[in-house]
Amino acid sequence: MKILAPLERIEVYLVKLPLVTPFATSFGVETHKEALLLKITCGGVVGWGECVASPAPFYSSETNQTALHILKDFLIPVLKTVKELSIEDVLTAFSRVRGHTMAKAALENALLDLLARRREIPLYKLLGGTPKKIMSGISIGIKASPTELVEAISQALQKKYHRVKMKIKQGRDLEYIAAVRREFPKIDLMVDANSAYSLDDLDLLAEFDRFRLTMIEQPLDYDDIYLHSLAQKRMQTPLCLDESIKSLRDARAAVQLGSCKVINIKQGRVGGMLEAAAIARYCRDHDIGAWSGGMLETGIGRGFNLHLQTLPGFNLPGDTSATSRYFKEDVVTPPVELDKDGYISIPGGVGTGVRVLEDRVERWAVYWEKLL
């Protein structure tokens, strides 16, 4: 994937959008989505990328401020040293910077969108994907009572979401899952613990087997692979790793150790679309389920997640929900919507296919800087 040079301008916006409903997980409650957006201009064409980091290091160690620092002081200076700007050369140059996968992914996003728009092709085509309708899935935060949760799930099912994920934590688990299963015995249901448990809780986690969950996401430590292999041996329900997988190497380790049967692939968490594609291929070749996760992205990030799911290996519904579930006013058009069967269409047109509404970006921006 070549022909990018010379980049004319790189700008960063930090936007802060109010969420329609607060999103509660085992690591905290989010009332706003704060997103770092990158705008790259080259030859009169503009590409956009989004960083999936949060304001606080509670999901992963990166934050929007660390991403800004790494982009500004390391990744963008590295870009200037790459002679021929192919994406592969850029990624090789980035590999000198250790970690900071979310910062790297944001820049890779923007470059891929730019490249596809310059070639006047949709992003999935640039990536080698097959266009299709994408399955939808919803991730429902921790609610104040099982009744409230059942009500939220009932609303999601009316919209035809293909699978439901519910967030859990210590003390908000058995009773909540039991209530949901009583009401909806047959739905595709999974839980996400965001590292709320430890090895001492294996008996409790094994009790979840009776609920016939399709998987339990990230029950143990955010950076662990080995302990999850012990947990997987003790339970029937497939484990899915999210936080622990930051690269193809991590995915290999997890699969070979038997730490999970499914991987939640977030392109931002693993350092970008190309690494995400490689993990999905690896999953396909090793009979491991794979789906695209979400980070409450604006329509920019969600556009990338949609195109990603056209690639081989993504065989399960992910965390791609309708825009209206997150924001009253997003920064792109068209919004993500579900059809009557719960499927989502890839936005048509070149690049990610979404059009960034710059007046809205400006309206919600709390910070702007020219980085190149």
In a 13 Å sphere around the CA of 345, the CA atoms on its Cβ side amount to 10
Q: Which is nearer to ligand OSB, 310 or 323 (CB)?
A: 323
Catalytic pick among 104, 165, 167, 246 = 167
Task: Establish whether 261 is a catalytic residue.
Answer: no
CB atoms within 10 A of CB 98: 6
Q: How many residues bind Mg ion (CB under 5 A)?
A: 3
Residue 7 Cβ vs ligand OSB, minimum distance, rounded to whole Å: 30
CB atoms within 10 A of CB 293: 26
Task: Establish whether 72 is a catalytic residue.
Answer: no
Which listed residue (34, 242, 250, 275) binds Mg ion by CB under 5 A?
Answer: 242
Q: Is the peptide bond before 334 cis (omega within 30 degrees of 0)?
A: yes
Residue 264 Cβ vs ligand OSB, minimum distance, rounded to whole Å: 6
> Is-contact 274 242, C-beta < 8 A?
no
- The residues, ordered by sequence, that sit 6+ positions from 223 with a Cβ below 8 Å of its Cβ are 243, 244
- The residues, ordered by sequence, that sit 6+ positions from 203 with a Cβ below 8 Å of its Cβ are none
Q: Which is nearer to Mg ion, 108 or 242 (CB)?
A: 242
CB atoms within 10 A of CB 96: 9
Within residues 115-174, the interface with Mg ion by CB under 5 A covers: none
Which residue in the shown chain puts its C-beta closest to ligand OSB?
294
Contact region with Mg ion (CB under 5 A), list: 16-24, 238-246, 254-262, 297-305: 238-246
**Residue 139 binds which of ligand OSB, Mg ion, none (CB < 5-8 A, kind-dependent):** ligand OSB
**Positive or negative: CA dihedral 293, 52, 103, 39:** positive
Residue 24 Cβ vs Mg ion, minimum distance, rounded to whole Å: 13
Q: Which is nearer to ligand OSB, 117 or 307 (CB)?
A: 307
> Is-contact 334 303, C-beta < 8 A?
no
Chain centre distance of CA 232: 24
Binding site for ligand OSB (CB under 6 A): 59, 139, 192, 194, 242, 293-296, 319, 321
Q: Which is nearer to ligand OSB, 193 or 202 (CB)?
A: 193
Is there binding between residue 192 and Mg ion (CB under 5 A)? yes
Q: Please give the residue ranges that form the binding site for Mg ion (CB under 5 A).
A: 192, 217, 242
- Tell me the catalytic residues: 167, 266
